[in-house]
Amino acid sequence: MPSDLRPTIGFLSANIHIGSSRVLWPGIIDAAQTHDANLICYPGGRLHAAEEFEAERNIIYQFVNTDHVDGLVSWTSALAGTATSAEVASLHQQYQPLPIVSLAWPLEQGSLVSINGYQGMHALVSHLVDIHSYRRIALIRGPESHPYALERYHAYLDALKEKGLNPDPALIAPPLGWQKGHRPCVPFWMSVS
């Protein structure tokens, strides 16, 4: 571990420049400054990503070790992409015995900061039915292996059921990856209209 008294925290993330990372990353920086900690960012892409050269960035995850950091914050759900739980666990096992805080993806080791996607999706669907009287609500699903994407999918189904509505499979896009997931949906829905 680093020898100085100021702790050094490593932040593992798929990226820091797109999507919700543009909001999270400044918060990570602010927290490090507030707590007088050094911060090393490892924006190594999603594990095994098929898009362009993203998977090649995964090599940066090999540079994390106890000689550089005192602990890790891992935005595990973002870097997981379509990787299996076993693959995500394997990545994080190599960092033992470092303390790890995982964001939005449970790991056997370390602590978890969870997100309640179920409640938000359930409230959204209920609002669309109760306030706007919508009866046909479409859903773009996230990756099949992503726990919070599954949580939102189940909330969507549960809310429709509670409102006495049957989900229309034609309005539910198949599980898709994050980056290009929305693109196939327009032709998909146009074909069922």
Q: Please list the pLDDT of the chain residue by residue as tens digits (193 residues).
A: 555 689 999 999 999 988 788 889 999 999 999 999 999 999 999 998 877 788 899 999 999 988 889 999 999 988 987 788 899 999 999 999 999 999 988 898 889 898 888 999 999 999 999 999 999 999 988 878 777 889 999 999 999 999 999 999 989 988 876 665 566 666 766 676 5
The alpha-helical segments, DSSP class H, found in the chain are: 21-34, 76-80, 85-93, 117-130, 147-162, 185-192
pTM as predicted:
0.71
Q: Residue 99 is part of which domain span?
A: 8-113
Is the CB of residue 77 less than 8 Å from the CB of residue 67?
no
Q: Phi and psi dihedrals of 72, rounded to 5?
A: -125, 145
Q: Which two tokens stand for residue 184?
A: 């196939």
Query: Which of 98, 113, 128 is the endpoint of a domain?
Result: 113
Interatomic CA distance for residues 145 and 175, integer angstroms: 9
Interatomic CA distance for residues 158 and 25, integer angstroms: 33
CATH of the domain at 163: 3.40.50.2300
> Coil, helix or strand for 65?
coil
Q: Work out how many domains the chain is built from and give that number.
A: 2
- What is the number of residues in the chain? 193
Query: Which of 69, 97, 113 is the endpoint of a domain?
Result: 113
